[in-house]
Amino acid sequence: MSTSSQGLWTINLFQIVELLKTFERHGIEFQHWRKVRSDNNFAFKVVDIIRQHLLANESVKSSLDMFPSMEFGQLGATLAALEKLGLELEDLQKIREEDIRVIAGQIQEQFDRFAKPVTMKQVVKLFDKDKIINGKKAAELWERDLPKGRIPINYTIRTIESCVNGNRIDSDWRLIYIFNWSLRELRKMLGNDPRNPPNFDNSEKADWWLKTGDRVFKQDINKKPQAGYYLINFKPEGINCDFCMQSRLMGDWAEHCDAAVFAQAIFTTFKLNGEKIFEKWVHWCDLALKPGNHVAMWLSDTGLAFTSNMIDFPQKTLGAAACWKWEFN
């Protein structure tokens, strides 16, 4: 499980309210909380009790071990606050064993939301169908085979929900299956004939990026992305901002979409329904001729083009497609 998943995990207000209701139901009244305690171990003891019930579930045991008791976030903080008001460990003993299981079950549900990969079944229930290109569909469009077995989606349901909510406002998050093809491989597969789209640009000197002598840049255009599902926002981020500002606007959870991933995503979308998904804007991608000199991708009249010269697209909006970082590997 990724570090970001640990940071995202928390218990929400609903679980806190249910916990307090359970205390109240078993006679733990506000007067019990008025007494002041000198030590601060109670919260951690309570969390450990609940944690042991969760550890009994083998499916989450390995992931749960990564959470030290004192890092159970809001639950621990709330119990610590109650402790300051006088709630003692003896009060907890009034709560029956089955009630502890109920609380543990609620926490388990929350844990699954923040620390467990989402399933395609869950995604389909949340996302609009036109925002998903699954592995089976991508394989049909490209006439390729998929790896055997279930293909994991390396995001949590919380992340999917966040993208769905963003789409209701002004984002365009899509979940697309990507094969592990480099930019050079894509160029070889699709060619540059505008009469047979989707294709790469065929204007004069259009293939400059294939011929550059820079060693690092050569490595980048030959780099194969990991095959799998990628969440990409096709509503550009950081309009007319510099590259660093765009990165800051995306936050720690996202990054400029990899050039090979982005190219394949727009080609796959075009193959599916003829949609030119970023016809009116320019994607400032992760490729760089040298530090600070990033390459932009854009759709010319004759195909997908690459440039580091901003005067090449005066009529288009300079932005960046954000790609949500994988939360599991």
The 8-class DSSP code of residue 277 comes to: T
Burial (CB count <10 Å: 0-12, 13-18, 19+), residue 46: buried
Residue 96 has pLDDT above 70, yes or no: no
Residues 245 and 204: their CA atoms lie apart, in Å, by: 32
Q: How many CA atoms lie within 13 A of 155 on its CB side?
A: 23
Answer yes or no: is pLDDT of 69 > 50.
no
Over residues 283-299, the mean pLDDT reads 88
Average pLDDT value for residue range 99-120? 72
What does the chain come to in residues? 329
**What are the counts of helices (DSSP H) followed by strands (DSSP E) for the chain?**
15, 8
Assess whether pLDDT exceeds 90 at residue 131: yes
Q: What is the pLDDT of residue 199?
A: 95
Residue 133 is predicted with a pLDDT of 98
- In this structure, what DSSP letter does residue 311 have? G
- How is residue 180 written in tokens? 């592990």
Q: Does 43 score more than 70 pLDDT?
A: no
27 class by beta-carbon count within 10 Å (0-12 exposed, 13-18 middle, 19+ buried): exposed
Which of 61, 62, 52 is CA-nearest to residue 103?
52
Q: Tokens in use for 19? A: 């916990």
Please say if the pLDDT value at position 2 is more than 60: no
Report yes or no: 96 and 136 within 8 Å, Cβ to Cβ: no
Helix (H, G, I), strand (E, B) or coil at 181: coil
300 pLDDT band, cuts 50/70/90, is: confident
φ, ψ for residue 36, nearest 5 deg: -95, 130
* Residue 156 exposed, middle or buried by CB count within 10 Å (0-12, 13-18, 19+): buried
Q: Choose the most confident range, by mean pLDDT, from 15-19, 49-53, 175-179, 270-274.
A: 175-179
For 275-288, what is each residue's pLDDT tens digit? 989 888 999 998 88
What is the distance between the alpha carbons of residues 119 and 65, in angstroms, rounded to a whole number? Answer: 23
What is the DSSP pairing of strand 228-237 with strand 317-324?
Answer: antiparallel
The mean pLDDT of the chain is 78
